[in-house]
Amino acid sequence: MNERRLIVLVAAILAAHVEVQVQAQVQVQAFPTKPIKLVVPFPPGGATDTTARLISQQLQTRLGQSVIIENQGGAGGSIGAKQVANATPDGHTLLMSSASTFGTHPVLYRLDYDPLKAFAPVATAVVDKLVLVAGPALAVNNVQELVAYAKAHPGELNYGNAIGIGPHFTAEMFKIKSGANIQHIPYRGGAPMIADLVAGQIHMTINGKSVLLPHIQGGKVRALGVTAAERWADMPDVPTLLELGYLDDPYDVSFGIVAPAGTPVAAIARLNGVINEALRSPETRAALEKLGIEPQITTPQEFAAIIAVEAPRWAKAVRQTGIKVE
């Protein structure tokens, strides 16, 4: 091949590469072409819903399209997840997922799909820390008193949580480690459970800081222990369940947005960019800080790596607790 032909060939390859880049950029800029539906697989008012609504407000502004929150509660979030798994993969139907989507659902339920294959990671959103709290119906001042009372009155105490979510299994692991006999009262989501907790209808729960912090600060529930590796800076007097010997590992819950597998790369790139912009914005950071939760900014590839680590970890938690659902 002479020098002239080589130059022509290189020029053609470069031109084709530029054309691909231009087309990809056009696709990114064109998306979305209609309103986006963000499925929250739990009732309104819980940690998943709160996170989704904060992010959706920012996305609407940045995308120039409506972002509609659709709450599809039931079966620990698996009903809403299946709806998105079966949706058209065009980037206009998304799921606010958590570790349970990939870790606990496949073990608990007879799914007709594999979440690891059915979803494409888009972007992480936040990490919600978990806290053990006692409601007004439970007159204890610390975890040791709680465990002592539960052992002296087996089966008398109860806790509330939705079935099949991270806080449910964390509570069950606490029961196993402490030897406390505490009944589980199932709920469809966090909001109705917390309403009953504050009203004294149930005794306690382990759930997200995002939904419990206002009630802790208002004196309606008492924080007894946190599930993190270290004590929280804003609650330094509340011990970790690890330091007390009631958990073997720290447990927090990551939330992120996923799309149906096969969603165009350009759409995922566009969504990832605007979600990360939203999480960096002063407005979102201020709102998250009030809830006590931390933004988590990643690429789709980094989100996939997080799922690869967290999914087997939560699947192990299901097996350790022996929880089964009908």
> By C-alpha distance, which of 316, 49, 323 is closest to 186?
323
Amino acid sitting at position 192? P
The model's confidence at residue 29, banded by pLDDT at 50, 70 and 90, is: low
Query: In whole angstroms, what is the distance from residue 104 CA to residue 48 CA?
Result: 16
The pair of three-digit structure tokens given for residue 83, joined into one six-digit string = 């709806």
Q: With 60 as the cut, is the pLDDT of residue 37 above it? A: yes
pLDDT value of position 10: 44
pLDDT (tens digit, 9 = 90+) per residue, 265-304? 999 999 999 999 999 999 999 999 988 888 999 999 999 9
State residue 257's pLDDT score. 98
Q: How far apart are CA 280 and CA 297, in angstroms?
A: 8
Query: Is pLDDT at 8 greater than 90 in this prediction?
Result: no
pLDDT in tens, 88-131: 999 999 999 988 899 999 999 999 999 999 999 999 999 999 99
CB 134 within 8 A of CB 204: yes
pTM exceeds 0.85: no
Q: Check residues 19 and 145 and name the one with the higher pLDDT.
A: 145
pLDDT for residue 74: 82
The class that CATH gives domain 28-127+254-321 is: alpha beta
Summarised one tens digit per residue, pLDDT across range 59-95 is 999 999 999 999 998 888 899 999 999 999 999 999 9
Fold match, 28-127+254-321 / 129-226: yes
Per-residue pLDDT, 2: 54
Instruction: Look up residue 246 and give its two tokens.
Output: 């009631």
Tell me which amino acid residue 323 is: I
Q: Which residue has the tokens 């309403």?
A: 195
Residue 24: per-residue pLDDT: 40
Q: So where are the chain's domains?
A: 28-127+254-321, 129-226
User: Thinking of the domain 129-226, which architecture would CATH place it in?
Assistant: 3-Layer(aba) Sandwich (3.40)
The whole-number pLDDT of residue 1 equals 54
Band of the pLDDT at 12, cuts 50, 70, 90? low
Q: Please, what is the average pLDDT of the chain? A: 90
pLDDT score recorded for residue 318 = 92
What is the Cα–Cα distance from 104 to 112, expressed in whole angstroms?
15
Structure token digits, residue 132? 């053990």
Determine the average pLDDT of the residues in 153-179.
94
pLDDT at 25 over 70: no
pLDDT for 45:
83
